[in-house]
Amino acid sequence: MPSPKAKSSGGSGGPGRFEFTSLSRGPPPHLLQRQGSDPAAARLRASESPTRRRGSGSSTSSSTGPPLPEEDCMRLNPSFLGIALSSLLAIDLWLSKRLGVCACEDSAWGSVRPLMKLVEVTGHGIPWLAGAAYCLYKSDSSAGQEVMLNLLMALLLDLVLVGVVKALVRRRRPTHNRMDMFATFSVDRYSFPSGHATRAAMCARFLLTHLVLAAPLRVLVLLWATFVGCSRVLLGRHNVTDVAFGFGMGYCQYNLVEMLWMSPATLHSLVGLTPPLG
């Protein structure tokens, strides 16, 4: 067999005549012209033999690369707080999915889903706003008007604060949730915090403080607030942390309501209702 550097005698186009050339020298000029490419560029491509490419790859892999970006370093070396938050989020998602037994009709407790949706309506903002406004209109005493007006202002404050927090956090609702809620708004596609939980906690504390209720009714109010919060997880509307934070937020909202409490004189000057009774 002839060596790679040997050339056959005669023209390159004759039959049975071959021409061999070294890989390091590149293809002959007439092949470059036939391909319609630049001879210098073609020789440069031909000079990149598999041996050289393997050598360059091994040298690149053996050499020290550029430093990792900061976010990659954080993923490789997470802090203790990051690990704790990630673990808490994973437990929250797992537990919320396990407790969503009424998320659909095919769930474990799908038969009681209509009852859970009825409890959901009792904690909705629209029935509470309508009821407070009606009681304010029908009240014939200054004390009753004062309590109902402050309850109405507390409900409006709750809607604003929950909407702001939801718009800032933007946590999506659980994947197993069905968006068939009663009278939803734009921010209701977000999950954190639970507006029903905040409203239930705030209204329960408000009623227990400003209404004279017997012991059974006081227990019933507490059970209602707890049941409203639990129904949010059972229906798959919220995660467990959404409801827990909502209870705490609603409990603290009442302190803000007490700070902004409107007296009968302020009520008379702003709303123009009947003057306070002697």
Partnered with residue 7 across adjacent β-strands are 19
Q: Which of 124, 210, 238, 268 is catalytic?
A: 238
Q: Which of 30, 124, 176, 196 is catalytic?
A: 196
Classify 161 in phi/psi space as left (phi over 0), alpha (psi -120 to 50) or beta.
alpha
CA–CA gap between residue 130 and residue 134 (Å, rounded):
6
Residue pair 151/133 in contact by the 8 Å Cβ criterion: no
Looking at residue 184, its amino acid is: T
Q: Give yes or no: 176 in active site.
A: no
Q: In 10 A of CB 90, how many CB atoms?
A: 10
Q: Give yes or no: 196 in active site.
A: yes
Q: Would you list the DSSP string of 168-201?
A: HH-PBPPTT-----SS--GGGGB-SS-HHHHHHH
Q: In 10 A of CB 64, how many CB atoms?
A: 5
Among all residues, which ones are annotated catalytic? 196, 238
